[in-house]
Amino acid sequence: MIIVALSYTLPECYDLNTITMTKDADLTQIIAVVNSINDCNIREKSRVRNVVDAKRIYSSVAKAIFPKKTFKEIGAEIGVSHCTILYHLKDFKALVQQDKGL
């Protein structure tokens, strides 16, 4: 069995420098990492800034690591529609411009 590792490097402001996942990795691993870094649960319905920003980060990382996953599949993992994922991806760009630490 050959294992291919995918790496996603996070900014230095996070305790965790890299996320390394095997080829069989899934979206739940990304959710676990985002939850632990942001100290929240992105599967819960919330309008708190920290949780919403974490959902934006999840959406961006999930689409970057798994480009063949549909917006519907990415959204289903956190209980939102594909439209919300599109909105989070658009807002992530604004979040990066606003927060230079990302």
What are φ and ψ of residue 69, in 5° steps?
-70, 140
Query: Where are the chain's structural domains?
Result: 6-98
- pLDDT tens for 84-94 read 999 999 999 88
- pLDDT tens for 52-81 read 999 999 999 999 989 999 999 999 999 999
Instruction: Say which DSSP state 40 is in.
Output: S
Q: What angle, 0 to 180 degrees and rounded to 10, lies between the N-to-C axes of helices 49-65 and 27-38?
A: 150
Q: Which of the four pLDDT bands, split at 50, 70 and 90, describes residue 95?
A: confident
- Which CATH architecture describes the domain 6-98? Orthogonal Bundle (1.10)
Could you give the angle at the alpha carbon of 61 between the alpha carbons of 32 and 22, nearest 5°? Answer: 65
